[in-house]
């Protein structure tokens, strides 16, 4: 590394500069279990300490990689021996909750679940929700513009952030801790950092927008006879439930059957012989009204043959059981090992042809290959898991070509919500124009001229 450990110790304290085996034994990728290769890990306590660390790094051209909850899926936290890890694990404070204004001010290292709980304790809710809620951090959610299961109602992380603070590559602090819904005074600088994967600055604090609580939930698992029925069902539930539609999560038969019948990890609430399954959730504050509205919507869908089977959760335990089938990523990984995972978006009308073609091409190349699909259909986002018996780099690239190349003609994206990192960098040009990439490079050069922040991620 370019920077001395003594310099770092003088800034954050000796106990918070980690070296040697304590670095080598830390994972930096939960999916692969890869261990950290960084020269050291430094753990600042606040924005001031981080600013001082980055000033020193800038002077010596020391590259850094920011670590949050390490739940990413595109190798965005990968390190090399000449890099320094900036870990935000000490920066977890929830600083303020404004019940009247509906905001929560938090340090970037706070886990998402802790923020959800704090909002709930204040009689409000923070609506972003995803399976890694217990580990992923607010800073990571912002850096990747996280999505999750509530996007259909509340939008992605970008819609939840009113203001933020970030430390630049040279140590300057950009504090735009806006608490207002409306602020058109010049450029909206927070947008530079949301979704930039730590390549333009390190987010340290944020003002998050809270929402009124929706304590009542109606949850159903339904089976659809065809993709046309599935898309019609989405429109029907959106129209019938209106603002009460909280989730519309689709599992192709291959996903549902794998995690129930094949692996035995979950008892199938309804038979596994239907082509599509959907978890539909209605949310509200009036139990009687929501229950009646939800039941009527499902009955109408049955009458129109949009669904052919259904089960409605009668308790929190049953609701959790339905969601466990959708969110059992561990079971998915074990059931398909070695598994290659993908996160794409494309127009809903093209999804069936895209997945059917992908499976046909996959089996032509690897007759024993397996394809599993689930996702946030209402958001145009599919999660694709593929097993061909190997995850060697050449095999990975061949599978990537099958998954990614058709997206360009469809106007799709190689990343719906997981980001680009290193894994998808070579495919960025399939969903961004050359002019867009040139502008990204211009911003990177202007804000990080020495390429110190998460170098090699997103952009070469």
Q: Where do the structural domains in the chain lie, given as residue ranges?
A: 5-90, 94-209, 216-329, 338-435
- The DSSP output letter for 257 is H
| Residues 28, 66 contacting (CB under 8 angstroms) | no
Number of C-alpha atoms within 13 angstroms, CB side, residue 133? 16
Strands lying side by side in the sheet with 17-18: 17-18, 40-42, 84-87, 64-67
Is residue 3 a contact partner of residue 57, using CB atoms and an 8 Å limit? yes
How high is the pLDDT of residue 118?
98
Q: Do 425 and 457 contact (CB within 8 A), yes or no? A: yes
Please compute, for residue 206, the number of CA atoms within 13 A of its CA located in the half-sphere on the CB side.
30
The residue whose two tokens read 């001395």 is: 4
* E strand intervals along 108-261: 161-167, 173-176, 202-209, 216-224, 245-252
Q: Quick one: CATH architecture of 5-90?
A: 2-Layer Sandwich (3.30)
Q: Could you count the other beta carbons within 10 Å of the beta carbon of residue 171?
A: 16
Distance from C-alpha of 25 to C-alpha of 12, rounded to nearest angstrom = 22
Selection from 302, 388, 384 nearest residue 351 by Cα: 384
Distance of CA 154 to the CA centre of its chain: 14
* Fold agreement (216-329, 338-435): yes
| pLDDT, position 242 | 84
Q: What angle do CA 416, 418, 421 make, to 5 degrees?
A: 120
Residue indicated by tokens 């009113």: 162
Q: What are the φ/ψ torsions at residue 401 (nearest 5 degrees)?
A: -60, -40
Q: Hey, CA dihedral for 444, 177, 93, 209, is it positive or negative?
A: negative
User: In terms of Cα–Cα distance, which of 303, 312, 292 is closest to 221?
Assistant: 312
| CATH number of the structural domain 216-329 | 3.30.70.2190
Contact 428, 414 (CB under 8 A): yes
CA distance 189 to 252: 40
Between CA 405 and CA 398 the distance in angstroms is 11
Instruction: Tell me if 445 sits within 8 A of 430, measured CB to CB.
Output: no
Nearest to 152 by CA among 375, 378, 413, 416: 378
CATH number 3.30.70.2740 given to 338-435: yes
CATH number of 94-209: 3.30.465.10
* First-to-final CA distance of the chain: 21
Return phi, psi of residue 388, to 5°: -125, 15
Task: Report residue 47: phi and psi, to 5°.
Answer: -60, -40
Helical spans, DSSP H, in 284-350 = 287-303, 316-327, 329-336
**Consecutive sets of 10 residues in the chain, 460 residues long: mean pLDDT of each?**
96 97 89 89 98 98 96 92 97 98 98 98 96 95 94 95 98 96 94 97 98 96 98 96 93 98 96 98 94 96 97 96 95 95 96 98 97 93 96 95 97 95 96 97 98 96
Predicted model pTM: 0.93
Beta bridge partner(s), residue 373: 384
What tokens appear for 84 in the block? 């320094």
- Whether the CB-CB separation of 193 and 142 falls below 8 Å is answered with yes
């Amino acid at each position: 590394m370019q920077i001395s450990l003594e310099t770092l110790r003088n800034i954050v304290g000796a106990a918070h500069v980690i070296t040697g085996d304590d670095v080598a034994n830390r994972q930096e990728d939960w999916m692969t279990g890869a261990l950290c290769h960084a020269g050291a890990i430094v753990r600042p306590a606040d924005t001031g300490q981080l600013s001082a660390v980055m000033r020193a790094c800038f002077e010596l051209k020391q590259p850094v990689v920011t670590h949050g909850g390490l739940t990413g899926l595109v190798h965005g936290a990968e390190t090399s021996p000449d890099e320094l890890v900036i870990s935000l694990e000490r920066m977890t404070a929830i600083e303020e909750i404004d019940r009247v204004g509906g905001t929560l001010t938090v340090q970037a290292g706070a886990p998402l679940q802790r923020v959800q709980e704090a909002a709930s304790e204040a009689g409000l809710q923070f609506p972003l929700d995803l399976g890694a809620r217990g580990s992923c951090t607010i800073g990571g959610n912002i850096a990747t513009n996280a999505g999750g299961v509530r996007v259909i109602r509340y939008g992605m992380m970008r819609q939840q952030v009113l203001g933020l603070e970030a430390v630049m590559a040279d140590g300057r602090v950009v504090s735009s801790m806006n608490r207002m819904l409306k602020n058109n005074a010049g450029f909206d600088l927070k947008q530079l950092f949301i979704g930039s994967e730590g390549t333009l600055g390190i987010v340290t604090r944020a003002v998050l927008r809270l929402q009124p609580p929706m304590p009542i939930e109606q949850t159903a698992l339904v089976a659809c006879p065809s993709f046309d029925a599935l898309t019609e069902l989405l429109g029907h539930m959106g129209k019938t439930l209106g603002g009460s539609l909280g989730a519309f999560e689709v599992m192709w038969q291959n996903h549902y059957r794998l995690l129930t019948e094949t692996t035995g990890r979950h008892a199938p609430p309804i038979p596994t012989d239907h082509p599509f399954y959907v978890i539909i959730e209605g949310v509200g504050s009036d139990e009687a009204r929501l229950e009646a509205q939800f039941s009527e919507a499902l009955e109408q869908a049955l009458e129109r043959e949009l669904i052919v089977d259904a089960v409605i959760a009668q308790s929190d335990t049953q609701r959790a059981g339905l969601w466990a089938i959708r969110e059992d990523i561990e079971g998915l990984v074990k059931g398909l090992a070695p598994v290659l995972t993908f996160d794409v978006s494309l127009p809903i009308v093209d999804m069936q042809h895209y997945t059917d073609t992908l499976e046909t091409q996959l089996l032509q190349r690897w007759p024993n290959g397996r394809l599993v699909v689930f996702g946030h259909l209402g958001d145009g986002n599919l999660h694709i898991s593929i097993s061909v018996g190997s995850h060697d780099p050449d095999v990975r690239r061949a599978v990537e070509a099958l998954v990614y190349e058709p997206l360009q003609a469809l106007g799709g994206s190689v990343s719906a919500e997981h980001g680009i990192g290193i894994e998808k960098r070579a495919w960025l040009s399939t969903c961004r124009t050359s002019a867009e990439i040139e502008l990204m490079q211009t911003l990177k050069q202007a804000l990080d001229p020495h390429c110190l922040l998460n170098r090699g991620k997103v952009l070469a």
